[in-house]
Amino acid sequence: MKIQKKQIGTLAGIIYFLFIIVSFMVGFKPGEQIGHNFIDFSVEMLKILPCAFILIGLFEVWVKKESVEKHLGEDSGVMGYIWVILLSGTTVGGLYVAFPVAYSLFKKGAKLSVIFTYVSSCAICRIPMTIFESSFMGIKFSLIRLLVSIPLVIISSIWLGNYIETRNYKIMK
């Protein structure tokens, strides 16, 4: 009998939830904490994702492909990277939202290196995260981190985009 990947995933999920239930029944504190963390994380996701997906749907409908190609496409130049860094700074929900937005940008004709810059910038340039960071580490630290990180993100995105394009890789739709 051959076990399929879907069956393994289902079995892992069942074991996970059984572990949490048994932990609550016997008072196993680490298991209870895992259960509480799962609930907290799920509630946070349910607060953010529906709104984000509605906005992504509106983006799909309202923003024309020609606009994305003009500002983020092959002929966008340096301004394409600046636009996506500004966009990533305002992205709420972190990478949960960034990946669907990146896919939408890809479908509308954005250059791969610009998309890689967007995803990477979502991880490092979000305005709320930077404000939080600067309140603990100081403004000087946050500015140095951004001034070092952003050029490295752009350079690595350009390199990765060129690498993928020269190898004629196709992204599955």
Residues 131 and 84 in one domain: yes
Task: Check if the beta carbon of residue 107 is closer than 8 Å to that of residue 70.
Answer: no
Residues 83 and 154 in one domain: yes
pLDDT digits (tens, 9 = 90+) for 28-55: 999 999 999 999 999 988 888 888 889 8
pLDDT of 1 > 60? The answer is no
Domain final position from 27, 46, 62: 62
Residues 98 and 22 in one domain: no
What residues have CB less than 8 Å from 39, skipping those under 6 apart? none
Residues 20 and 74 in one domain: no
Mean pLDDT of all residues in 128-153: 93
Domain final position from 62, 97, 112: 62
Residues 72 and 25 in one domain: no
Residues 130 and 99 in one domain: yes
- Domain coverage including residue 49: 1-62
Number of domains within the chain: 2
Residues 79 and 144 in one domain: yes
Residues 41 and 73 in one domain: no
Task: Check if the beta carbon of residue 138 is closer than 8 Å to that of residue 105.
Answer: no
pLDDT of residue 2: 65
pLDDT digits (tens, 9 = 90+) for 92-105: 777 888 888 999 99
* Residue 63 CB neighbours (<10 A): 14
Task: Check if the beta carbon of residue 101 is closer than 8 Å to that of residue 118.
Answer: yes
pTM of the model as a whole: 0.78
pLDDT of residue 66: 92
Rounded to an integer, what distance in angstroms lies between the CA atom of residue 162 and that of residue 72?
15
